Structure 1
Amino acid sequence: MRFVLISLLFNVYWFSAAIGPPSLQWLMGAMLLAAIAYDRTVIAGILTLAPLGIIGDSVMLYTQWLAVDTSSLIMPSWLILLWLGFCAFAWLMRELVLARPIWLITCIGSVGGASSYLAGERLGALSFPQSFWITGVVLLGVWAIYSVLFVVLMRWLQHKVEARMAATRGQQ
């Protein structure tokens, strides 16, 4: 039930970014704060995982694999918020993710991640300066890399969080 509810909420979050006007960014911010209130370790998950996606998408924008309408030098705020929310979602789902083989998470992550960009392109949130099909293949590869790195980082961070919680319990 928890997985379904968090997944539905993330879809609301994603649609707020992909089709919502900038005025919906307050909703994304509120949902992000709700995730942090639900589980304070979400902050660590976001700080660990989000830079990977933000830097990766910045490179994709700079190298013109992706294009967005923005006056920002790096990337639009809605895309940064989307990465923050995705990383909060991934962190909240970490038990489910880390219990699966990395090859399965990589397959699901590459198809799901690439599909979200393809859907975003169809909804007008971004565009592909290169061929749609070639960009799709590139996105599959990028998301395969993201998925592996996210699992590795999530395992590392989970151990740190567990060690900190055990130390805190030991001090009480």
Structure 2
Amino acid sequence: MLKPLANAALFQCGWFACVLGGDSAWLLVGLAVLVIHMLWISSWAEDGALIVGVMLAGTLLDSALRALGVFQFSEPGPLIPFWLMLLWALLATTLRHCLAWTARPWWRAALLGAVGGPLSYYAGSQLAGVQFGYGLTPTLAGLAPLWALLFVGLQRLAR
């Protein structure tokens, strides 16, 4: 029971460090969360491939949404900022641990994705200064079904 709670707390620390710190020294906190996760909660053998896979998939997805004008960052370039890439890696650490309860039945993952995904982007936009190119309501309405499907897929990938 302690490890899932620690996993959730570590994720939140990493989330805030990434979102509030951006591409700064605060990213070391996010990296420390990954190291602690690997040393205490899981291992590279258990979660390494999942973390890399989710980070790459999330980077591709959010970079595509950036290219489509959904997200507007102050940092130039075609890819999302490094802090958001790290955030995807941190999300992966939760799938088999504190968010394992969402894996079955599938609708739990869909519901959490539909609600939690857009809320996380909204909170991140307010704290990190990310702009929504199509406005708040259309963006969140579009992210809800996307994240419902995505989170079901991520939980299947985690299994």
Q: Same fold (TM over 0.5)?
A: yes
In 2, are the aligned partners of 1:121 and 1:127 still within 8 Å (CA)? yes
1:54-133 alignment, distance < 5 Å: 54-93=59-98, 95-98=100-103, 100-133=104-137
Structure 1 residue aligned with 2:37:
35
Structure 2 residue aligned with 1:162:
none
Question: How many pairs were matched up?
Answer: 154
- 1:86 Cα deviation from its structure 2 partner: 0.8
Alpha-carbon separation, structure 2, partners of 1:121 and 1:47: 24
Aligned to 2:72, the other structure's residue is in SS state coil
Alpha-carbon separation, structure 1, partners of 2:93 and 2:7: 10
Unpaired runs of at least 5, structure 2: none
Q: CA RMSD in A?
A: 1.7
Give the AA of the match of 2:5: V
Structure number with greater Rg is: 1
1:78-134 deviations in whole A, cap 9, x for unaligned? 011111111122233364333x31012210122111100011112234110112100
TM-score (norm 2): 0.88
Give the AA of the match of 2:3: R
In 2, are the aligned partners of 1:53 and 1:146 still within 8 Å (CA)? no
- 1:51 Cα deviation from its structure 2 partner: 2.2
- Residues 1:7 and 2:12 aligned together: no
Alpha-carbon separation, structure 1, partners of 2:61 and 2:148: 12
Alpha-carbon separation, structure 1, partners of 2:3 and 2:111: 23
Alpha-carbon separation, structure 2, partners of 1:69 and 1:109: 26
Alpha-carbon separation, structure 2, partners of 1:89 and 1:104: 15
Moved more, 17-26 or 78-87: 17-26
1:36-51 alignment, distance < 5 Å: 36-38=38-40, 39-40=42-43, 41-51=46-56
- 1:13 Cα deviation from its structure 2 partner: 0.7
Aligned to 2:131, the other structure's residue is in SS state coil
